[in-house]
Each structure stands twice: as C-alpha cells, then as structure tokens.
Structure 1
Amino acid sequence: MSKASIVASEAAHFGGMAHDWWDPDGDSAMLHKLNPVRLQFIRDQIDQHFDADEHSLKALEGKSALDVGCGAGLLAEPLARLGADVTGLDAAPELIEAAKGHAAGQGLSIDYRAGELKTLEGSFDLVTCLEVIEHVAEPADFVAALEKRLAPGGLLIMSTPNRTEWSRFLTITLAEGMGKIPRGTHDYDQFIDPDAMRALLGAAGLEMVEVMGIAASPMKGLHLSEDLRLNYIFSARRA
C-alpha cells in the first residue's frame, strides 16, 4: 500500500506563506522570479508534445491540466489562460483558499483542491509538479501517483533542485541564509539528482524526454541553461 506523500510540517510551512503568496516581494519572491523561466520551458514542451502552434494564445484549448503542489496558483493561472481545464492540488488548505480568491479576482475558473495526490481521481493531458518532489515523504510512491494521473499520450513536467554542493550553497546557505527564501524551506537530504530521478521515473513506467537546467548569474538572473547544477526542469512521458 502506498504511503501518504504529504509531510505535515512541510504543508504547515508553506501554508504559513499563503498571506503574501502573490506579492512579488514577499516570502514567495523567488518563485515569482522562477516562474517565467519555468513557463518558457513548459510552453516549448507543450508545443512539441501536442504539436501546437507556437504562436497560439490557446495552445492547451480542449486539454486538461493538473498542477500538483500548485501553491496559490502561480502556474495554474497561466495554464488556464492557455485554454486548459485546470485542476490545482496542494497539501496546504491555506494556499488553496488564497488560490481560489486570486483566480476569482482574475476571472479564471480553476478547480482547486486541498489533499493527497493519491486520492485524486481522473486523468489529465498535462501534469505539472514544480519544486514539489523534494518536499514529499515517499518520492517513489509520489512519482507512481503522478503517472496514474497522466492520460494516454499525456505530458508530465517536473522541476526540482539538483543534489549538488552548488545547489546546497545557493539554495540553502545563501538564499535561505540571506532571507531570500524562508529558512527551513529546503532539506538537502531530500534533493534528487537527475540520474536518481530517471530511476524513479523508470520504476513508474515513465521516461525523461528533455531536461534543462535553471541556472543563476549576476548578468542573466535565473535562466534556462545546459548547466544542471542548481536546479533542473524536465518533461517525461510513458515509456
């Protein structure tokens, strides 16, 4: 029997950030900086996988999308604007309430739910899970649960910090140490490197299709890169 993926302390930590999730200068400021970079990769993968028109404003029209660990909707809202029928799932009820309120203010219809991934029913053309797997109790069970939600021919996109000393330094020592990210957000022991991720995917019947690094530099800020040392984002499909 698969175990629960939610770690209560993690849900409480992120739930405590709900009050200013949409403030680009608040506790989630780093996510606001990260989101455009992730969206660049996601849009490219959508266009390739679904053979969509790269100039279309509704590339996900007629498709369903599930954003796992959706927070208060930083990714779910752009997916809805691309035309998808979006479901957002998060472990923290406080974040789901904030997400519902923000989406209503934007005139967006998104099905937000609080709870465990393994209790969710249905399948989705696109499943996204960004900066989440490093916070779950059982990564292997979690990836298997993601696979179960993927519709035939579906696309999975995930991102996570790499398990490197560079990632530990920038993410925990520097960013958390300087207050750019709330202290206690990350546990280096939970970081997963790309080879270990491929093994998790393979055990669930999935294969990694394309991977890009998310790097940081004084000149470019956060940006897509061949350098995977800090963070990486990837697409996957059934093998």
Structure 2
Amino acid sequence: MQRSASTIDDAEVAKFQAMAEEWWDPTGKFKPLHMMNPCRLDYITQQIAAEFERDLEGDAPFKGLRILDIGCGGGLLAEPIARLGADVVGADAAERNIPVARLHAEKSGLEIDYRHTTAEAMAEAGEEFDAVLNMEVVEHVSDPLAYLTACRDLLKPGGLQICSTLNRNPKSYIMAIIGAEHVMRWLPKGTHDWNKFITPDELYDLLTQAGLEPVDRKGFVFNPISWSWSISDRDLSCNYVTASRKPG
C-alpha cells in the first residue's frame, strides 16, 4: 500500500508551536484541555481496561501495554497513562512541544518516550502498539483518511484506537469557535477551522475505510452551570470520542 509521506498541515502545526510553553498552565491557552482531561481520561482508561481485561483498581493496571499518544502536546494524557504502568510513546509534529513534555515528565519522575515525528513515519518504521490515543488531532491534518490509515498501521492486530474530535454543525461553531476563541478567549483566534470538523457518521465512515472496526462512540458535554465536562451516550453535538479496533 502506498500513501503520502505526511498528512501534516504546516499551518496547523505552527499554531501549536506558538503555544508550546503554556501546555502545563491550567489557566492558559490550553485551559479547555485541562478542564476536559478528567473526562477524556475516564473514557480512555475504561475502554482500554475493558478491551485488555485490566482491573483499574489494581497496581499498574496497564503494565505490559505499549500505548502511543499521537499529537501528545505537552503530555497531558501521556503522563497519567504512564502512571498506570503503560509503556508510553508520545509523538508530536510540533517540535517545540517535545522538550516541554520531556522536562515535565522528568520533573514528575516518569519515563516517557517523547518524539518529534509523525504517524506516517512511525508506521513506515514498523512501530506497533496495543493502543493508539488520537485525541483532537484528526481535525488538524490535511488528509484525515490517510492519517487514520497510518494510525491503523500502528496498531497490533486486535489493537484499540481512541479518537476524539469535533462535530460539524451550528452548535459546534458557536461553542468551539465563537465561544472558546472569541468570547472566553480560551484559545487564540483561528486555532480551529470549522470546515475541518467531522461529523460522527463521517468519522465512522473514515475509520471503516481505514480498515478499523468502530465499536463505540460517546459525547463529551460541557455544563456551563457546574463548569465541568461529562460523558454522554446521546449528546455528540460538539465534542465526541470513538473507539475502534484493528481486526486480528
């Protein structure tokens, strides 16, 4: 199978390069991710535990699992997954994110293999993982199908991919563009391109075309009264997440 060398969108990478130093500031430009992170982690850990029959109440429940966090940023997901005992590789196309992530992991006493690389390069090198975390990345690449195909190639047979993104509808435009970037100013203007958002049905179709078997999808819902996020079985109208499996 032949595919393009990279699905990296240089303009998208530049946006995150400019914000790299702020990854671990919970009140900074990545405040939305800090707020959403407990919800994301809950879904990720529950899906991995169910897929690989692990007890989250046990000691180092993910020991023996090799997990890739693609688009790892400063390590907001990689670090808690490493604390659960997994062998974690964090990869990001924005070079400035990597030293930030490495330094924070070192200060936290964690061993995480951070790399400035792409999904395509790792797949072509023959890397394989039990699980791939692909969170809020697919809406920033130039070719979603080629990118998801590379992520599929990175999974061992029977491996699990967790992929989250943003739905494309009027509500997501109001929440993610107008609300987050213009009103609350949680993110710099232009961080997201609404036209690159993907509906749940479109993502399921892309995952299937990439050779994966979608097995679950849920919504991440923000409550402005409690100022918190929760997982929903029904509301996928803005942020949502999917789980898919590589046959094998």
Per the normalisation by structure 1, the TM-score is 0.97
Aligned residue in 1 for 2:164 = 159
- For residues 162-203 of structure 1, the C-alpha deviation after alignment (integer angstroms, 9 at most, x for no partner) is 111111110001110021122111001100011111111111
Alpha-carbon shift at residue 45 of structure 1 (Å): 0.4
Is the 1:45–1:235 Cα contact (8 Å) retained in structure 2?
Answer: yes
- SS of the counterpart of 1:93? coil
Alpha-carbon shift at residue 54 of structure 1 (Å): 3.1
Is the 1:46–1:59 Cα contact (8 Å) retained in structure 2?
Answer: no
Aligned residue in 1 for 2:238 = 230
> Residues 57, 131 of structure 1: CA spacing in aligned structure 2 closer, same or farther, 3 A cutoff?
farther
Matches within 5 A, 1:177-216: 177-178=182-183, 179-216=185-222
Alpha-carbon shift at residue 20 of structure 1 (Å): 1.4
Aligned counterpart in structure 2 of residue 40 of structure 1, from 33, 39, 42: 42
Aligned residue in 1 for 2:104 = 102
Is the 2:17–2:95 Cα contact (8 Å) retained in structure 1?
Answer: yes
In the alignment, the residues of structure 2 paired with residue 57 and residue 184 of structure 1 have an alpha-carbon distance, to the nearest angstrom, of 43
Is the 2:156–2:246 Cα contact (8 Å) retained in structure 1?
Answer: no
Aligned residue in 1 for 2:3 = 2
- SS of the counterpart of 2:27? coil
In the alignment, the residues of structure 2 paired with residue 56 and residue 229 of structure 1 have an alpha-carbon distance, to the nearest angstrom, of 35
- For residues 183-231 of structure 1, the C-alpha deviation after alignment (integer angstroms, 9 at most, x for no partner) is 1110011000111111111111112111110111223422111200011
Aligned residue in 1 for 2:17 = 15
Q: Partner letter of residue 198 of structure 1? A: Y
Aligned residue in 1 for 2:114 = 112
In the alignment, the residues of structure 1 paired with residue 111 and residue 96 of structure 2 have an alpha-carbon distance, to the nearest angstrom, of 19
Instruction: Give identity over the alignment, percent.
Output: 43
Please list every run of 5 or more consecutive structure 1 residues that lacks an aligned counterpart in the other structure.
Answer: none
Cα RMSD (Å) of the superposition? 1.1
Q: Partner letter of residue 242 of structure 2? A: F
Aligned residues: 239
In the alignment, the residues of structure 1 paired with residue 216 and residue 150 of structure 2 have an alpha-carbon distance, to the nearest angstrom, of 21
Alpha-carbon shift at residue 57 of structure 1 (Å): 4.1
In the alignment, the residues of structure 2 paired with residue 136 and residue 116 of structure 1 have an alpha-carbon distance, to the nearest angstrom, of 11
Is the 1:52–1:59 Cα contact (8 Å) retained in structure 2?
Answer: yes
In the alignment, the residues of structure 2 paired with residue 56 and residue 233 of structure 1 have an alpha-carbon distance, to the nearest angstrom, of 26
Work out whether 1:131 is the aligned partner of 2:136: yes
In the alignment, the residues of structure 1 paired with residue 103 and residue 14 of structure 2 have an alpha-carbon distance, to the nearest angstrom, of 19
Per the normalisation by structure 2, the TM-score is 0.94
Alpha-carbon shift at residue 2 of structure 1 (Å): 2.1
Aligned residue in 2 for 1:52 = 54
In the alignment, the residues of structure 2 paired with residue 164 and residue 140 of structure 1 have an alpha-carbon distance, to the nearest angstrom, of 21
After superposing on structure 2, the runs of 4+ consecutive aligned residues of structure 1 that deviate more than 3 Å are none
Is the 2:7–2:147 Cα contact (8 Å) retained in structure 1?
Answer: yes
In the alignment, the residues of structure 2 paired with residue 57 and residue 138 of structure 1 have an alpha-carbon distance, to the nearest angstrom, of 40
- SS of the counterpart of 1:141? helix
- For residues 125-177 of structure 1, the C-alpha deviation after alignment (integer angstroms, 9 at most, x for no partner) is 01001000000010000000000000122111010011111111100011100
In the alignment, the residues of structure 2 paired with residue 14 and residue 107 of structure 1 have an alpha-carbon distance, to the nearest angstrom, of 25
